[in-house]
Chains A and B, each alone.
Chain A
């Protein structure tokens, strides 16, 4: 899986959780929290949707890794590859 494909999966999840957010111009290197209105309930849902849809586990200590799309890709891509 490429970095871009991984970011797309995360964006797909966010668009289902927060359909009222405009995701067309999200910067990959800026914290999601700083450009979208996502609260802790929403971040928890991103983690739970990753598990539900893709079987990817993100332990609580690693939630910080999901801060931006770039950090999501860096953290999640190896996890997706390990499953493939």
Chain B
């Protein structure tokens, strides 16, 4: 075998690609991860501006359970990757809120809090709500061959108040739905468990802590990683991925190829390209996010309770591609200072707001228009979000403001490579990861285990299912 032949080649050094790589390398496979960027992490990467470090996608890591709770996704991934829980240094949230104009529901990492909120604010719905929770608890959401069903259709059998329905769906969709208006029920269950039955946490130093742990494990296991080395083409011969052509034109071969690039993106990489398949399953939901850095923590002006706030002001929660450049009717506020860092705190105050945005509009702007529109929308987004937080005078925020940054659908495209800046990828997920080529599999967003923990489990599952269980080395 020559130097450019691998047992497995992995496209993309995001959470799922790294996790798949760790599994394969640990069990003796010769594996290489090809990443187009110079940074690992994909959507959940990080960057620095003027000495300040920012996370790209991470508000909170979902699926948090306290030490000792077993059998949940977090525990599974720690065991599978031989990671000690302490290495992730997770700090739990304080509380989060679903905030609609006339109603709000608090939730924490203790599910009893949300259950009591629903019972007190929707007494007529409590019975149905608890039955839905029971269904979610017992549903096999990681089945690789489940048939897709509408989440709204199932939830409607238990919950009849549209306000409660919308309030439950709002966080679940914002943190993972690639589909407009509805979700596949299995995806809904994954997110319901991840957000409500489990919970939120974050390392004090952000997502880089998690990426560093993954990179160290991968390196120790003997995995190889090529940065600034994207895969341009997957050459098909006799129903197999016979070779990969890299961006620099060089060619490598592998017995197995796992792509975390996304379904339509991978189909377009294939030679011959599968453009019809790609076009029929391309996501269209993208986000903008504003980031404000303050001298003081937001608790100084009374924003001390909430970690994450999911807000909406329209009659029915409308999770669709933004018709305008940005849809400020709903969104997500993140106050990263409001995790319980056990006495420590971030060096500065942070305030982040996410809203749905239209990729086409953002992508067509000239550089000058782009900069101007970022400024304009920054103010609009913050104005909308602040309606759902305790009142504070503009001057207080202005005096404290140190820096701002904003990412747009263009940024999402840059970090994920997803067509349309589709933050959660393709609307229809490929659960078993299979493609038209028998040694090419998908992992990550478009395999469909959601969130950071889900992404890692996706890489693990696909490596186990397609390679380790079948080709035991």
A interface, CB within 8 angstroms of B: 16-20, 37, 39, 41-42, 44-45, 48, 51-52, 57
Contact = CB atoms under 8 A, between A and B. Distances in A.
Interface of B: 27-28, 67-68, 70-71, 75-76, 78-80, 82, 84-85, 464, 468-469, 472-473
B468 A48 contact: yes
B278 to A, nearest CB: 32
B82 A44 contact: no
A44 B464 contact: yes
Contacts of A18: 79
A41 B85 contact: no
Contacts of B79: 17-18, 20, 41-42, 45
B70 A51 contact: no
Nearest to A16: B82
A42 B464 CA distance: 12
Contacts of A41: 76, 79-80, 464
A20 to B, nearest CB: 7
Given A20-B68, A20-B85, A45 B472 contact: no
B22 to A, nearest CB: 13
Given A44-B464, A48-B472, A37 B70 contact: yes
User: Sorted from nearest, which 7 A-B pairs have the closest CB atoms?
Assistant: A37-B70, A48-B27, A18-B79, A17-B79, A37-B71, A52-B27, A41-B80
A46 B109 CA distance: 32
Nearest to B26: A52
A18 B469 CA distance: 20
Contact of A45 (B71, B80, B85): B80
B28 A52 contact: yes
A71 B148 CA distance: 41
A30 B92 CA distance: 37
A39 B82 contact: no
A51 B26 CA distance: 12
Given A20-B68, A20-B79, A41-B76, 12 more contacts: A17-B82, A20-B70, A20-B75, A20-B78, A39-B71, A39-B76, A41-B80, A42-B79, A44-B464, A48-B27, A52-B27, A52-B473
A50 to B, nearest CB: 11
A16 B26 CA distance: 13
Contacts of B78: 20
A33 B56 CA distance: 41
A37 B79 CA distance: 12
Contacts of B80: 41, 45
Contacts of A42: 79
A36 to B, nearest CB: 9
Which among A17, A48, A51 has the greatest number of chain B C-beta atoms within 10 A? A48
Contacts of A52: 27-28, 473
B459 to A, nearest CB: 13
A34 B2 CA distance: 47
Contacts of B68: 20
A41 B75 CA distance: 12
A52 B28 CA distance: 8
Which among B80, B85, B468, B472 has the greatest number of chain A C-beta atoms within 10 A? B472
B76 A51 contact: no
Contacts of B75: 20
Contacts of A20: 67-68, 70, 75, 78-79, 85
A20 B71 CA distance: 11
A19 B84 CA distance: 8
A42 B79 CA distance: 8
B84 A44 contact: no
A16 B76 CA distance: 13
Contacts of A39: 71, 76
A77 to B, nearest CB: 22
A51 B71 contact: no
A20 B85 CA distance: 9
A30 B98 CA distance: 47
A44 B71 CA distance: 16
A39 B140 CA distance: 14
A16 B27 CA distance: 14
A45 B79 CA distance: 10
Nearest to B71: A37
Nearest to B461: A41
A39 B461 CA distance: 14
Nearest to B70: A37
Contacts of B67: 20
